[in-house]
Amino acid sequence: DQQVKQNSPSLSVQEGRISILNCDYTNSMFDYFLWYKKYPAEGPTFLISISSIKDKNEDGRFTVFLNKSAKHLSLHIVPSQPGDSAVYFCAARNSNYQLIWGAGTKLIIKP
Amino acid sequence: EAEVAQSPRYKITEKSQAVAFWCDPISGHATLYWYRQILGQGPELLVQFQDESVVDDSQLPKDRFSAERLKGVDSTLKIQPAELGDSAMYLCASSLGDSYYEQYFGPGTRLTVT
């Protein structure tokens, strides 16, 4: 079973505060997890990744946390900025090197 | 910065007609992917190429969809005949190779079948 789930279709956060986006998965054999960001009328763009052997990866305002026992990962954005308003996809790489995608979470940053 | 090119950006067609989408990956990228994304869902892989060879087309509805990458560079995805349920965003992505997890996406083609 290979599923990636993003259970929150949307999230609204005040500018300057922390945004936390969540993702759950079913297959313990996924070896990489990725977050992509998508603006309207554009293709997804790679944001940050984490290997399954790590529990944290940080890149500027973006940090991804992986909890393997819970099969859960989260993306933290601190501080949130208006330009962060987009749809965020979580994806996991399977043993065939293919990405399995979640349904996305629409993040809205309020001024 | 190198980008994945796709055309057309938008396509409206009547059901039972044929449509074709084109993708030009980033130069040097051996692996090319076609995805379909329905509104409110994540991208779904339709077909994966390694150079000119199909690696995986298990999710491609082969009775109406076809894909080719004849010279291992650009690619065409065709639907014939189009059905109402084919309305979606068709995304092309490329990567250096299939072991590279980062995929680079084009802007997509929004297909509406009426």
Contact by Cβ (8 Å): B78, B30: no
Query: Which pLDDT band holds residue A6 (cuts at 50, 70, 90)?
Result: very high
Q: Which of A52, A57, A56, A92 is nearest to A68 (CA)?
A: A52
Task: For residue A44, say if its preceding peptide bond is cis, omega within 30 degrees of 0.
Answer: no
- The counts of H helices and E strands in chain B are 0, 11
Distance (Å, rounded) from C-alpha B77 to C-alpha B35? Answer: 10
Distance (Å, rounded) from C-alpha B6 to C-alpha B20? Answer: 11
pLDDT tens across B29-60, in order?
999 999 999 989 999 999 999 999 999 999 99
Per residue of chain B (114 residues), give pLDDT as tens.
789 999 999 999 999 999 999 999 999 999 999 999 998 999 999 999 999 999 999 999 999 999 999 888 999 999 999 999 999 999 999 999 878 889 999 999 999 999
Q: Which of B23, B33, B103 would best serve as a mutation to test chain A binding (most A beta carbons within 10 A)?
A: B103
Contact by Cβ (8 Å): A64, A33: yes
CB-defined contacts A:B, below 8 A: 50
Q: Do B42 and A104 touch (CB under 8 A)?
A: yes
pLDDT tens across A48-102, in order?
999 999 999 999 999 999 999 999 999 999 999 999 999 999 999 999 899 999 9
Of residues A4, A9, A44, nearest to B105 (C-beta): A44
Q: Do A98 and B103 touch (CB under 8 A)?
A: no
Paired tokens of A61: 């305002």
pLDDT of A1 higher than 90: no
Closest-CA distance of chain A to residue B74, Å: 18
- Contact of B60 with chain A, judged by CB distance below 8 Å, is answered with no
Go through B57-91 and write b for each residue having 16 or more CB atoms within 10 A of its CB, e for each that does not. Answer: beebeeeebbbebeeeeebebebeebeeebbbbbb
